[in-house]
Amino acid sequence: VRLWRCRCRALLSRPAGAVRARRGLAAGPEMHFGFQSVTEEERREKIYQVFENVAKKYDVMNDSMTLGIHRVWKDILMHKMNPCPGTLLLDVAGGTGDIAFRFINYVRSVRQRQLQRKLKHHQDLSWQEIFESYQKDKFNSLGDSQVVVCDINREMLKVGKQKAQHLGYSEGLSWVLGNAEELPFDDDKFDVYTIAFGIRNVTRIDLALQEAYRVLKPGGRFLCLEFSHVSNPLLSRLYDLYSFQVIPVLGEVIAGDWRSYQYLVESIRQFPPQEELKAMIEDAGFFKVDYENLNFGIVAIHSGFKL
């Protein structure tokens, strides 16, 4: 019954106010929190609480909701980025560190291949020179690559740090508390900016995009992995069914908190579709903006360059 009431309210609240709110612009005090209407401040508060509650069970819930497919999505994002050693990555809303760990793994294996290739070419060096170059490279297994994980929520960062310790990631990783709408970094600092499943929760998306533009180096890349709109009608019906009937129930059973997962599903519906987000990214000043649909539009990766 509660579910039906939420959906009816959504259908009734379609007019211009809700449309502007959908774009993440502060159209007066009214904004959306899932299918509810709240003020900007209230929205930030509520979202902070949502993630405070789910932080500990975040990864488990991700696996159960998406049947583990979120790992594939994040791997595809990393392949698309194709970072080379020496890249500086800023992962915003990176909470529990999934993207950061994948980045470190990727860069480490690329670096290994580079070193192997270099060794093959060093056939005609003296033993002394080979020894020296080996020493130099041994302590540089990441090739000076670094990732900064930035999140607004302390709890999510805590879980992320614990995970890093548990999995043995220490090099090239830093954790910063910060707001995507107002990043605590200087201009022109990072090579790549990623935000995976986070931009949906940002209250002012345009500000976040502007900040992304600011902190990227010239030539830097913006990558956004986010739930998006499914255009295929049959698939969309099945997806809605799964989202609204199954996910909140899973939330209650596994995390003991169905309200947060109700918010999650509703926020996906409220998020702008692919083309609209592409236009917003272009407005922020990015060039060569493009998106790639994964799984028929359930998830989309948007990419843009600061040129």
Least separation in angstroms between CB 149 and other proteins? 18
Q: Is residue 187 a contact point for other proteins (CB under 8 A)?
A: no
**CB of 258 or CB of 305, closer to other proteins:** 305
Q: Is residue 192 a contact point for other proteins (CB under 8 A)?
A: yes
Amino acid found at 142: L
Distance (Å, rounded) from C-alpha 244 to C-alpha 236?
12
Q: Is residue 273 a contact point for other proteins (CB under 8 A)?
A: no
Q: Is residue 122 a contact point for other proteins (CB under 8 A)?
A: no
3-state helix, strand, coil in the chain (%, to 5): 55, 20, 25
Distance (Å, rounded) from C-alpha 243 to C-alpha 250?
10
Least separation in angstroms between CB 216 and other proteins? 7
For β-strands 88-92 and 190-196, DSSP reports them as parallel
Q: Is residue 172 a contact point for other proteins (CB under 8 A)?
A: no
Within 252-271, the residues that bind other proteins by CB under 8 A are: none
Which residue of 80, 122, 154, 237 would you call a contact of other proteins, by CB under 8 A?
A: 80
Which residue of 2, 219, 233, 234 would you call a contact of other proteins, by CB under 8 A?
A: 219
| Helix spans in 83-153 (H) | 98-121, 127-138
**CB of 202 or CB of 215, closer to other proteins:** 215
**CB of 78 or CB of 264, closer to other proteins:** 78
Least separation in angstroms between CB 196 and other proteins? 16
For 232, phi then psi, to 5°, come to -65, 120
For β-strands 173-177 and 36-38, DSSP reports them as unpaired
Least separation in angstroms between CB 86 and other proteins? 6
**CB of 39 or CB of 274, closer to other proteins:** 274
Distance (Å, rounded) from C-alpha 143 to C-alpha 178?
27
Which residue of 81, 115, 196, 247 would you call a contact of other proteins, by CB under 8 A?
A: 81
Q: Is residue 220 a contact point for other proteins (CB under 8 A)?
A: yes
Distance (Å, rounded) from C-alpha 188 to C-alpha 176?
18
Q: Is residue 282 a contact point for other proteins (CB under 8 A)?
A: yes
Phi-psi region of 82 (alpha: psi -120 to 50; beta: other; left: phi over 0): left
Amino acid found at 257: D
Least separation in angstroms between CB 92 and other proteins? 15
Tokens representing 264?
């999650």
Which residues are bridge partners to 69 per DSSP? none
Instruction: Note the residues at the interface with other proteins (CB under 8 A).
Output: 80-84, 86-87, 191-192, 216-221, 275, 278-279, 282-283, 285, 287-288, 303, 305-307
